[in-house]
Amino acid sequence: MSTTASSPIEVVQAFCDAIAGGDLDPVIAFFTDDAVYHNIPLEPVVGPDAIRATIEGFTGAVESLEFKVLAIAAAGDTVLTERIDVFRFPGSSIDLPVMGAFELRDGRIAAWRDYFDLNQFMSQLPQG
């Protein structure tokens, strides 16, 4: 991944686009070695390995995941996104409204915080 010539908005948009690819290697490449990922209703995790494990934890049963970016804005190296995260399961899907905050350092994501209603997500999970 080469982000040296990309603006913070371009980096975050490319990250959001990469999620839909289904391969976590290019997704994890966006993070610094000490990156912090915090789904605000849950405990934060630190480092690419922990971030990978966390993403795998909530995508294990999904057929696909897409981050639909509705709005994106930046102030310096901080990028804010308004998204609909679409989790597709066999026979159903969850459309989860999310506000995301990304802090970049040297063109990579050093911090990622997502704000969403955990109950809204959990109550829509397929039963089985």
Residue type, 75: A
- Of the listed ranges 21-25, 50-54, 64-68, 117-121, the one predicted with least confidence: 117-121
Span 59-97, pLDDT tens digits: 888 999 999 999 999 999 999 999 999 999 988 999 999
Environment class of 123 (CB within 10 Å of its CB; exposed 0-12, middle 13-18, buried 19+): exposed
Contact between residue 12 and residue 78 where contact means Cβ atoms under 8 Å apart: no
What pLDDT, on the 0 to 100 scale, is given for residue 60? 80
Active site (catalytic) residues: 85, 114
C-alpha 96/C-alpha 18 separation (Å) is: 18
| 53 alpha carbon, distance to own chain's centre | 13
Span 33-67, pLDDT tens digits: 999 999 998 899 999 999 999 999 888 889 999 99
Per-position DSSP letters for 31-64, written without gaps between them: EEEEEEEEETTS--EESHHHHHHHHHHHHTT-SE
Residue type, 59: T
Q: Work out the pLDDT band at 128, boundaries 50, 70, 90.
A: low
What pLDDT, on the 0 to 100 scale, is given for residue 2? 47
What pLDDT, on the 0 to 100 scale, is given for residue 5? 55
pTM over 0.85: yes
Could you tell me the residue ranges of all domains in the chain?
Answer: 8-115
C-alpha 47/C-alpha 11 separation (Å) is: 18
**CATH domain 8-115 topology:** Nuclear Transport Factor 2; Chain: A, (3.10.450)
- Give the count of beta carbons closer than 10 Å to the beta carbon of residue 28: 16
What pLDDT, on the 0 to 100 scale, is given for residue 3? 44
Q: What are phi and psi of 15, to 5 degrees?
A: -60, -50
Contact between residue 115 and residue 91 where contact means Cβ atoms under 8 Å apart: no
Intra-chain end-to-end CA distance of the chain, in Å: 38
